[in-house]
């Protein structure tokens, strides 16, 4: 099982290899894709979309200082459902997506601190 993050398409999914052990990806009508592929981890992990960590730490784990490049399109997903999500010390609404065990947050543009309490 692999986690596949499409940087240009701003999507993330889990994919299995076929019976030969090959991981198949599709262009979906696009000429180029930039994919970030890792082995699926057992525990939750964060996926940063159109945002980047500002503290030099890996792209997973909380709390995270994040620079969001575009309002409403900067997405943080893979947040564990174990608590409430806070953005800059204030509770923030979350969305449920394809990954039922985790939460997703849309960020406004700018610098933010994301925490789960």
Task: Give the other-Cβ count within 10 Å of 43's Cβ.
Answer: 8
Residues 80-106: tens digit of each pLDDT: 888 899 999 999 998 876 666 778 888
Domain count, the chain: 2
Residue entry with tokens 């620079």: 67
Looking at the fold, whether 62 and 94 belong to one and the same domain comes out as yes
Sheet with strand 64-68: strands edge to edge: 51-53, 64-68, 110-116, 85-87, 90-91
Pairing verdict, β 2-6 and 35-39: antiparallel
Assess whether 63 and 109 both reside in one domain.
Answer: yes
Determine the structural domain holding residue 19 and report its residue range: 2-39
Q: What is the DSSP string of 22-53?
A: ------TT-S---EEEEEPPSS---EEESEEE
Q: What is the pLDDT of residues 30-78, one digit of tens each?
A: 677 777 777 776 666 777 777 888 887 777 788 888 888 877 778 887 7
Work out whether strand 51-53 and strand 64-68 pair parallel, antiparallel, or are unpaired. Answer: antiparallel
Residues 53, 70, single domain; the answer is yes
- 24 and 72 in a single domain? The answer is no
User: What pLDDT score was predicted for residue 83?
Assistant: 81
Is 69 found in the same domain as 85? yes
Q: What pLDDT is recorded for position 43?
A: 63
One domain for residues 103 and 69: yes
């Amino acid at each position: 099982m692999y986690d596949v993050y499409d940087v240009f398409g701003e999507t993330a999914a889990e994919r299995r290899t076929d019976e030969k052990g090959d991981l198949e990806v599709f262009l979906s009508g696009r000429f180029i894709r930039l994919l970030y592929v890792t082995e699926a981890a057992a525990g939750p992990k964060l996926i940063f979309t159109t945002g980047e960590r500002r503290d030099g730490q890996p792209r997973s784990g909380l709390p995270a200082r994040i620079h969001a490049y575009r309002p409403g399109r900067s997405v943080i997903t893979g947040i564990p459902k174990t608590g409430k999500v806070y953005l800059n010390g204030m509770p923030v609404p979350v969305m449920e997506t394809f990954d039922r065990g985790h939460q997703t947050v849309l960020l406004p543009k700018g610098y933010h601190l994301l925490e789960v309490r």
